[in-house]
Amino acid sequence: MEKIKILYIDDEQNNLNGFKASFRFDYFVFVAATTSQARAFLEEHSDIRIILCDQRMPDQTGVRFFEEIREKHPNPIRMLITGYTDIEAVIDGINRGHIFRYIKKPWTDTDIKSAIEEGNKFYLTNSLLSVKNDELRSAYDELGKFAYSVSHDMRGPLLGVIAAIEIINKSENINEVKEIAGMMDVAVKQLDAFIINLHEYYSLKRGSLVYEPIDFKTIVGDLAALFKVAGSMENIHFTVNVSQTGDFYSDLISIKIILNNLLSNAFKYQRKGSDNKYVEINIDVTNTVATIFVKDNGIGIHEEYINNIFTMFYRATSEETGSGFGLYNVKDALNKLQGTIEVSSTINEGTIFKVTIPGKTHAAK
């Protein structure tokens, strides 16, 4: 484990030397003879966890120093070192809530050590709490966006179908009924796609990664079969090139989500009426990295919107019924796998996505 960083401030050089000699094996020790020197250390090392300061410094008191640095450096645990005569200052410091502990002078190694251990525990609890707080805040924000979008994306198609049924009930015209049924079909499939994406979203957010050997050829083959069944490959030339040398360990669910979303987009956002539609996937896998290109000659993505395509619920086109979820999930999966994604696109010419995923060499990792 890395040594924790401690800053000790005292104007007597002997004390500084003594402190450093006693603790340099256990901790990463910074010593400062003046408070301005101490400030410089704090600026440079934001990961200093514990500050011990003598109350009687020539330019200012320890209490005053702590008060001043607290706003800029709120995280380090502050401890005051003081003789009996300074008891008023100690009470003052503690009551104002900015000192974790005070240590009597002359100190013993045991005093300091136990104070540092306690302080470190407090520091860790606090930082954990603030990380959890941030997570909670972002989860809340997401929930807000969610509630709003779910009411639209899930209720929207349903309300459409409800209204359509009413029209069908009053209609005597079989052709009209068939036409409406076709539109209901689209609405219901859209809802289904949304729910599938929602499920993917949760398996990514809540699931932990499971590393296993990935055979890209099989995965892409399975996906291609699915697209064939769904009929989305009609008149679209699909080329698959997979070159895999060696074992590649990664999380299967994440890989499937990435490939499925990129491919289904490539099939979906084709130009209607174009007679040479194609989708191409090139995968090159070594045991350290998988590089994936998904290329189509479809409608392309407008320059203005390309930076937003990975944003949740963002849809860059009204051509097709996207859930606004797919690429967000792709990006999220890649973040978990520490992979990258790049996109280049030209309107009416097509889009290329490039994905890289680092492989784990052993399943245990």
Partner 1 sequence: MLPNNQHHFIVIDDSKLDCFIAEKIIKNTGKCASIKTFVQAKDALEFIATQEPLSPLPVIILVDIQMPVMNGFQFVEAFEQLPYAVISKYIIYVISSSINDEDMNKIHIYPTVKQFLNKPLTSNTLSTLLSKE
Query: Phi and psi at residue 236, in whole multiples of 5°?
Result: -115, 125
Answer positive or negative: Cα dihedral of 179, 183, 189, 191.
negative
Q: What is the CA radius of gyration of the chain?
A: 31
Contact 251, 209 (CB under 8 A): yes
Least Cβ distance, residue 151 to partner 1 (angstroms): 4
Least Cβ distance, residue 316 to partner 1 (angstroms): 7
Between 112 and 180, name the residue whose CB sits nearer to partner 1.
180
Does position 268 interact with partner 1 (CB under 8 A)? The reply is no
Query: What gap in Å lies between CA 295 and CA 220, rounded to an integer?
Result: 14
Between 137 and 155, name the residue whose CB sits nearer to partner 1.
155
Does position 191 interact with partner 1 (CB under 8 A)? The reply is no
Does position 309 interact with partner 1 (CB under 8 A)? The reply is no
Between 322 and 350, name the residue whose CB sits nearer to partner 1.
322
Contact 359, 287 (CB under 8 A): yes
Which positions from 130 to 159 touch partner 1 by CB under 8 A, shown as an x/- string?
------------------x--xx--xxx-x
Which positions from 18 to 57 touch partner 1 by CB under 8 A, shown as an x/- string?
----------------------------------------
Q: SS3 of 62, please?
A: helix
Does position 181 interact with partner 1 (CB under 8 A)? The reply is no
Does position 187 interact with partner 1 (CB under 8 A)? The reply is yes
Between 18 and 160, name the residue whose CB sits nearer to partner 1.
160
Q: Is 93 exposed, middle or buried (0-12, 13-18, 19+ CB in 10 A)?
A: buried
Query: What gap in Å lies between CA 101 and CA 360, rounded to an integer?
Result: 45
- Write a three-state SS string for 131-185: HHHHHHHHHHHHHHHHHHHHHHHCHHHHHHHHHHHHHHHHCCCHHHHHHHHHHHH
Does position 305 interact with partner 1 (CB under 8 A)? The reply is yes
Cβ count within 10 A of residue 167: 11
Query: What gap in Å lies between CA 85 and CA 91, rounded to an integer?
Result: 12
Least Cβ distance, residue 102 to partner 1 (angstroms): 51
Q: Is 148 exposed, middle or buried (0-12, 13-18, 19+ CB in 10 A)?
A: exposed
CA distances from 67 to 78, 225, 326 (A): 10, 67, 50
Least Cβ distance, residue 181 to partner 1 (angstroms): 11
Least Cβ distance, residue 323 to partner 1 (angstroms): 11
**How distant is the alpha carbon of residue 349 from its chain centre?**
32
Does position 162 interact with partner 1 (CB under 8 A)? The reply is yes
Between 170 and 365, name the residue whose CB sits nearer to partner 1.
170
Q: Residue 290's beta-bridge partner residues?
A: 285, 357
Least Cβ distance, residue 329 to partner 1 (angstroms): 17
Does position 76 interact with partner 1 (CB under 8 A)? The reply is no
Which positions from 315 to 354 touch partner 1 by CB under 8 A, shown as an x/- string?
xxxx--xx-x------------------------------
Least Cβ distance, residue 156 to partner 1 (angstroms): 5
Does position 183 interact with partner 1 (CB under 8 A)? The reply is yes
Query: What gap in Å lies between CA 72 and CA 108, rounded to an integer?
Result: 31
Least Cβ distance, residue 318 to partner 1 (angstroms): 5
Stretch that binds partner 1, among 2-10, 79-87, 184-192, 289-297 (CB under 8 A): 184-192
Least Cβ distance, residue 193 to partner 1 (angstroms): 14
DSSP 2: P
Residues that bind partner 1 (CB under 8 A): 148, 151-152, 155-157, 159-164, 167, 180, 183-184, 186-187, 305, 314-318, 321-322, 324
